Structure formats: C-alpha cells, structure tokens
Amino acid sequence: MAPEPAQPAARPPAAPPAVAPLASIWPPAVVYIVFFGGIGAAFPYLPVFYRSIGISVEGVGLLSALAALVGVVSAPIWGGFADQLGDVRRPLLVGGFWAAAGAAIIALAPDPVSLAVAVGVWASGMAGIIPLIDSRTVELMGGSPNRYGRARAWGSVAFVGVALLTGAIIDRTSPRILFALWAPTLALTGVVAYRVLGGGASGGSTRRLRVTRADVVGLVRLPRLGLFLVGAIGFWTTNTAVAAFLSIHMTNLGAPAQLVGAAWAVGATVEVPLMLAFPTIAGRLGSERLLVIASAAYVARAIGFALAPTPVALVALSALSGVGYAFFYVGSVTYVARHAPARLRATAQGVFTGTANSIGMIVGSLAGGVVASAITIPGMYAVAAAGSAVAGLIVARAVLGRQ
C-alpha cells in the first residue's frame, strides 16, 4: 500500500492586528495650559490697557475687529501650511514666536497707527495657534476624538487661575504688566508644542501635500460642513455680541470690578468639568446633539441677560456661558475632525473654528455696538437671543438633518 502523502504542517493561528494604544492627553494638555495661561493674563485686561494709554471705547472695538479680520485671512493659511508640511509643530513654533513679537510691539507702540500695525502682526501669528493645536490633539486621540475635551479642559483651568492672579498684580502695578506674562507664554507655547506634539500619526511626517484654494472651497461645499459653517458663524456672532458688552452692562448696573471678573470666571470654571466629561456625555447623547444643546444654552443666556435686574443675577447666568462654550467648541472641533478629509485636518480646523470664530467676532462686535447704541444693551441681548435661536436651528439642520 502506498504511503499517505505528508500533511502540511498546521499553521499557528494568525495574531490579531495590533491596536495602537490611545495617546495620553497630557502632551496636548500641557500645551493648552501654557497657551491659555497667557490668554488669561491678556484677554480680560487688554481693553483696560488700551484705555490706560488713551484709546477711546470706539478705538478698542476697532482694534478687536482688526485682530479678528486678520484672523479670518490668516487661520486657513496656517492650516494649509501645516497640511502641506504634514507637521503642525514647525508652524506652531514659528507662529508662537511671531505672535509673541507682535504682543511685545503692542506694549511699546508709541501711537495709534503703530498700535494697529502691532495688533495686525500679533493677530496674524496668533490665528493659527489654536486650530493647529486642536487638529493635532484630535489626531493624537486616534479613534476617540471626543477625548479632545479632556485635554482642552486644562486650558480653561489655567485661564481662570492666571486671570485672577494677573488682576491682583495689575491692581498693585499697572495694566502694562500683562505683557510680561503674555508675550513669553506665546513663545513658550511654540517651543512646548514643538517638543511634545510629535510622535505618531503625522506629527513628525515628512509628507508634503499642496493645499489649493479648490481644497478649501471643497471643504465648504461638503454637505455636512458647508451648512455647519453658516450656523457656526451665526453662533459666534451672537456670542460675541453678548460677551463683548457684558462688562459694560454690569458696570452700568453698579457692579464693582471684582464682581465683573467673577462673571467671567464663573463661565470658564463651568467649562472645566464639562470638557473633562465630554467623552462620557457625548457617548450617551452624541456630540452632534451637544452642539444643539450649546445653542439652546446661549439662547437662554441672552434672554436672561436681557431680563436680569442685578449684577448678581448676571453672574449666576454666566454659568450658561460655560455650558454653551464647552459643548459648542469641543463639539465643533470633534465634528469637523470626523467629517473633513484626513489630509486636510489642519486646514479644516482653521476654516471651521478659526475663521468662523473670527468672522463672528467682527460682525458681533460691530453689529452689537450699533444695536446696543440704538436700543440699549438689554435690547441688543434680546435681538441676540433671536439670532442665537436661528443659528441653533441651522446647526441642528446641518448635524442632525441626515440622521
């Protein structure tokens, strides 16, 4: 009898594909801490500095609008530059030092024209920092972009702490001291980002892709992103109109400066636990629904501000600012990251967060001032409530319309 043919040796079972562990939130969290610590030193007190050197109230508004206008142009340029390099770290390093130089020039500007030029220099460097950090953070979170909020929350913690500290220092010195804290942190943001945001994905890639105008237009034409951009611009416009005049409104009601600061601190403090819990909340409700909830919170805030009889009531209602900002900002970064093409992540964040926010700041500052002058600040808040409702409906149609 012929021998049986030899049987092939059994192959060991194939090993399951390796799953890359989720990146730690701490590298981007450290970058957010440095950056928003500097923002806490500057943004609450820049108008105070401008007034201390003789800039009129109208001039302060124009400087804010100028910074936002520069941001509209600059944010997508920084994003496109980063996408072409395949690396956000080098643009962040350059942008951090660029913005720091502009901030230093603002402190030393001898006349209004020089001040306006300095604001333009600072704003052109500043415009790309947040979208680039955001896009890289979402990328590092891998398959769980909702975890972005846990890293971003530490920026709000730093904002609150440094803002309160800077206020105490200014009370004992002068508003100009804010630049000693602000300018170095902008440069340090670039250095820290360059050192800790590498590794994995495209953080240190050498790929080079040409980002064209057609790419940017194509992003806006995507069905789920184009309509969202319209709603986001409306959202940031009404938010700016409400926030820009809060301090003035509280002062008109007799609030001391300490209570005005408390109103801003309450909103930022509420952001922290909501950002930390964003993955859990989004897992239950969906990040798209949180965008709609954010819009509803801002409608309620605007109505409350219009009707609030006392500064203390305004402080309490400021908690809604934290709800709206935390859910909308983190939700929008996450939403854009999920629907934009992978090769255009940074460009998309520059357009849908940076540019949308900048346009909203321009329109909200200018339109809010005109309406408030015509029908009082509470009347403007009522108009902003209606605008927020319309923006919320547009956002809901964009993110929920096809579900």
Query: What is the domain count for the chain?
Result: 1
Residue 331 lies in a domain: yes
Arithmetic mean of pLDDT over the chain = 82
Residue 393 lies in a domain: yes
User: Would you say residue 22 has pLDDT above 70?
Assistant: no
pLDDT given for residue 304 in this prediction: 95
Residue range 117-126: mean pLDDT, rounded? 93
Is there a contact between 359 and 140 (Cβ–Cβ < 8 Å)? no
Residue range 8-34: mean pLDDT, rounded? 63
Task: Calculate what percentage of the chain has a pLDDT beyond 90.
Answer: 32
Report the range of poorest mean pLDDT among 86-95, 242-251, 313-322: 242-251
Best CA proximity match to 364, nearest among 298, 311, 314, 319: 298
Reported as a pLDDT band with limits 50, 70 and 90, residue 323 is: very high
Residue 12 lies in a domain: no
Place of tokens 């990040």: 287
Residue 9 lies in a domain: no
Chain centroid to Cα 234, Å, comes to 15
State pLDDT tens for residues 55-102: 876 777 788 888 888 888 887 788 888 878 888 899 999 999 999 999
Best CA proximity match to 53, nearest among 116, 124, 6: 116
How big is the chain, counted in residues?
403
pLDDT given for residue 392 in this prediction: 93
Residue range 23-40: mean pLDDT, rounded? 89
Reported as a pLDDT band with limits 50, 70 and 90, residue 204 is: very low
User: Would you say residue 335 has pLDDT above 60?
Assistant: yes
User: Residue 279: which domain range?
Assistant: 26-400
Count of CB atoms situated within 10 Å of the CB of 401: 10
Domain of residue 104, CATH code? 1.20.1250.20
User: Would you say residue 234 has pLDDT above 90?
Assistant: yes
Residue range 28-42: mean pLDDT, rounded? 91
pLDDT given for residue 12 in this prediction: 46
pLDDT given for residue 142 in this prediction: 67
Chain centroid to Cα 303, Å, comes to 24
Distance CA 337, CA 75 (A): 16
Distance CA 154, CA 33 (A): 6
Residue 15 lies in a domain: no
User: Would you say residue 137 has pLDDT above 80?
Assistant: yes
Report the range of poorest mean pLDDT among 51-55, 248-252, 372-376: 248-252
pLDDT given for residue 79 in this prediction: 80
Task: Calculate what percentage of the chain has a pLDDT beyond 70.
Answer: 85
Return all residues near 47 (Cβ < 8 A) that are at least 6 apart.
60, 247
Distance CA 259, CA 314 (A): 10
Is there a contact between 152 and 137 (Cβ–Cβ < 8 Å)? yes
Residue 217 lies in a domain: yes
Report the range of poorest mean pLDDT among 145-149, 209-213, 352-356: 209-213
Residue range 172-178: mean pLDDT, rounded? 85
User: Would you say residue 213 has pLDDT above 80?
Assistant: no
Residue 173 lies in a domain: yes
- For the CA atoms of the chain, what is the radius of gyration? 23
Is there a contact between 259 and 250 (Cβ–Cβ < 8 Å)? yes
State pLDDT tens for residues 371-396: 887 888 899 999 999 999 999 999 99
Prediction pTM value:
0.75
Residue 5 lies in a domain: no
